[in-house]
Amino acid sequence: MKIAVFSSKAYDIEYLSAANTQGHTLVFHETALNEQSALLAQGCNAVCCFVNDTLDSSTLHALAAQGVRLIALRCAGFNQVDLAAATSLELTIARVPEYSPHAVAEHALGLMLMLNRHLHRAHHRVRENDFSLNGLLGFDLYNKTVAIIGTGKIGEVLANIMLGIGCRVIAYDPVVNRTLSARGVNYLPLNEIWPNADIISLHCPLVPATHHLINTETVAAMKDGVMLINTGRGGLIDTRAVIAGLKSRKIGYLGLDVYEEEAKLFFEDYSNNLLQDDVFARLLTFPNVVITGHQAFFTREALAAIARVTLANITHFEHGELDQICCVS
Ligand code: NAI
């Protein structure tokens, strides 16, 4: 099959080309997919997209008009897809539901450790010959209460990591993970999660019910000095409410791998440009905030798995073995 691959970076080209043992024709485009760039998919039966490609109704209509039948997402989340439009246009949506939950869970742990021991600041100090410890006082993770919101594949791995460190783990998920509850993870309603957690890590999908899950009211209900980690999706957090929480010191530590307006920033080098996003700029002023640019998934193991499953999805579709939107459930 001929596939237009949008938002292609050097690493996408390397891993997808290496995994393409089925001989598909991959046409790589650096540009992101949107209604205008959809023209680049002319002559292709499928497009392959990533997290910040636009898959709204008008883009899907533009793709369908050119004969595209399959949207092969090379990511787990699918909040960027207008599923109703895709259904009405009879487009098939495939995704990679699991590539390495360890990659994301370990990144969440990395953010926690960076923040609680101020490693980001310590690294800069030592490079400046400043070996003082003032301001670097940390706390043990051991015995702290960690709340995991969403105990699917990633949340389960993180819960096990935190149990291994000796934390108490509490969780909220509409579906209780029996393996975790058997290991002592205590499922609580959200209103009991906020006041009891020292650390809160978000691992639920971005859906209408979880949009701005972290907002002025929920921040107010949290413990003073709470650590908040988001490697899920930016829209889970109302960033302005979190900035207010940082200013009042309600939030003691913030670790982000995702940001609601990230589509205008992440995955590109803007080091020669002026930052236009004032909300993001404010976040960068806090010493107790660490931000990475949606890299939690970015391990060799995950990229290899993403490429393998994406190409297998395309091959299955070609052989008529994929139901419409079968992979998005
Ligand atoms: P999953 O589908 O295995 O688990 C999601 C869990 O969230 C499920 O157990 C589900 O029951 C639960 N859930 C659904 N609605 C909820 C609600 N209202 N409140 C709390 N929990 C709810 O997904 P997985 O693989 O664990 O990924 C989780 C999220 O992580 C993805 O949706 C995606 O947005 C994000 N992600 C981020 C990456 C990154 O690089 N930063 C990479 C991969 C995923």
Each residue of 61-111: pLDDT tens digit? 999 999 999 999 999 889 899 999 999 999 999 999 888 999 999 999 999
Query: Which strand (E) or helix (H) includes residue 169?
Result: strand 168-172
CA distance 197 to 89: 45
Which CATH fold would you assign to the domain 2-99+300-318?
Rossmann fold (3.40.50)
Each residue of 174-221: pLDDT tens digit? 999 999 999 999 999 999 999 999 999 999 999 999 999 999 999 999
Mean pLDDT of the chain: 96
pLDDT band at 321 (very low <50, low <70, confident <90, very high): confident
CA distance 85 to 65: 13
| Catalytic machinery residues | 233, 262, 294
State in Å: Cα 207 to ligand 1 middle. 10
Each residue of 57-67: pLDDT tens digit? 999 999 999 99
- Residues of the chain within CATH 3.40.50.720 domain(s) are 2-99+300-318, 101-291
Each residue of 116-136: pLDDT tens digit? 999 999 999 999 999 999 999
Query: Which strand (E) or helix (H) includes residue 15?
Result: helix 10-19
Taking the complete model, does pTM exceed 0.85, yes or no? yes
Strands of the 25-28 sheet, one edge to the other:
25-28, 2-5, 46-49, 70-73, 92-94
Which CATH fold would you assign to the domain 101-291?
Rossmann fold (3.40.50)
State in Å: Cα 154 to ligand 1 middle. 7
State in Å: Cα 164 to ligand 1 middle. 22
Atom of ligand 1 nearest to the CA of 257: 41
Is the minimum distance from the CB of 100 to ligand 1 under 6 angstroms? no
* Cβ atoms of 111 and 104 closer than 8 Å: no
pLDDT band at 326 (very low <50, low <70, confident <90, very high): low
Is the minimum distance from the CB of 104 to ligand 1 under 6 angstroms? yes
Is the minimum distance from the CB of 198 to ligand 1 under 6 angstroms? no
Q: What percent of the chain has pLDDT over 90?
A: 94
pLDDT band at 327 (very low <50, low <70, confident <90, very high): low
Each residue of 242-252: pLDDT tens digit? 999 999 999 99
- Check residue 98 and give its pLDDT: 87
